[in-house]
Amino acid sequence: NQPLFTLHAMKEQLRLFWSQGTADRAQSFLLNWCFDALTSGIKQLNAVGSTILASMQGLLGYYPHKITNGPLEGLNNKIKTMKRQAYGFRDMEYFKLRLYNLHNSGYAFAG
């Protein structure tokens, strides 16, 4: 159970990245977290630590404006869901109209 506990604790600790306040503090936090992950001896944490080190500049890009791409990812998910539901429709114009109205529909795709 020790590796499972460590994985969960490290995951929860990583959530603190978003509340570091400044890019310098966030960079220090990530470097410390990655060091802990890479020296944990757990294969999954080694992989995550390496990935975070490779994309650290992108992660630190959050701090100047506090903007994430979460809303965009949510919209992409809605479009993919609608596309799956529309499989087999012959009317592409109706599909386009549904896409234009997607921001008004919330999470309900039926209708």
Q: What is the pLDDT of residues 42-71, one digit of tens each?
A: 899 999 999 999 999 999 999 998 888 888
Is the predicted pLDDT of residue 104 greater than 90, yes or no? Answer: no
Q: In the prediction, which pLDDT does 107 show?
A: 54
Amino acid, single-letter form, for residue 96: K
What pLDDT digit, counting tens, does each position of 10-53 carry? 999 999 999 999 999 999 999 999 999 999 988 999 999 999 99
Q: In the prediction, which pLDDT does 111 show?
A: 45
72 confidence band (pLDDT: 50, 70, 90)? confident
CA-to-CA separations, 26 to 3, 6, 13, 16, 55, in angstroms, rounded:
26, 21, 13, 9, 13
Q: In the prediction, which pLDDT does 105 show?
A: 61
